[in-house]
Amino acid sequence: MKIDLTGRVALVTGATGELGRAITRTLAGCGACVGIHYHQATDRATALQQELPGSQIFQADITDKAGIDRMRDAVKSRLGAPDIIVTNAVIQYQWMKVLEQSPDDYRSQFESCVLQNVLMAQAFIPDMIAKKRGRVIAINTECAMQNTPNQSAYVSGKRGMDGLLRVLAREVGEHGITVNQIAPGWMVSETRPAAGRPDSYRDAIPLKKWGTDQDIANAVAFLASDLASFISGVYLPVCGGNVMPAI
C-alpha cells in the first residue's frame, strides 16, 4: 500500500515553519504539486521551492481576505485549483496568564486559527465542490485538550477552530470533501532538536519518546490520500498518547 498523490495540487500555509517544511516535502514526495505559502520568510520559501521541483511559492497574510483571494487566483493560474489545503500557519506570541495576557493576543489567535480557516474555506472549497473531491487538513494542537496555565489565547483560538471545522465537515461532506484536524504534541524538528528539552515531558508520554515533524507530515499525507476517503470530522492527536480524546 502506497500513498500516491500524483496529479493532485496541494497548498500548505505556513509552509516555511517547523512543521510546514516537513509537511510540504512529504506531500511533494508523494507526488503532489505543492504550493508553498509564506508571509514574511521569503528566503526560506525560496530555498524550499528550489528543493522541490515543480513547487511554487505564494505570499499572503492568512488573516486578510483580499490577500487570500489573491493567493487563490495565483495558485489556480500557476498550479491549478488545489485538491488539498493544509492550514498550518499560526501567529506566534508570548504566553502569559489570563489576567496578564493582552487582548491583542486573543485577537491574533482568533484571526490565525479561526478566521484563517474561514477565509481559506471560502476561497478554495468552491473549486473542490466543482470537482466533487477535496481535502481540508488543519493543524490543531494537543494543548486544546490540556488547558494548561498560560495557554489561554492559543487554546481558545484552537478550540474555536475545532468547532468551525466540525461544522464545515458536515456542510461539505456531500461534495466528496473531507475536513480533518491533526493535533501535534511538542515535536522535534530539524531546528528544534530534543537536546535541551525537558525530559519530564518526554517521560510523561506513554510511548516514552519524542515525536518528530515527520510524524505530523505522515499523518497529513494519509489524510490527504484516497486511503482516508471515508474519514472526516476527526481531531487526531499525534503526540504518542499524551492526550487521548474520549468517547
| Enzyme catalytic residues | 154
- Quote the CA–CA distance of 76 and 82 in Å, as a whole number: 7
Calculate the CA dihedral of residues 91, 96, 101, 107 and round it to 10 degrees: 20
Q: Which three cell numbers stand for residue 182?
A: 491533526
Query: β-strand 84-87 against 56-59: which pairing, if any?
Result: unpaired
How crowded is residue 35: how many other Cβ atoms within 10 Å of its Cβ? 29
- Quote the CA–CA distance of 181 and 164 in Å, as a whole number: 11
Cβ pair 82, 133 in contact under 8 A: no
Closest-CA residue to 209 (of 245, 241, 244): 241
Determine the residue type at 93.
Y
Q: Which residue has the cell 481559506?
A: 120
Phi, psi of 180 (to 5 degrees): -140, 160
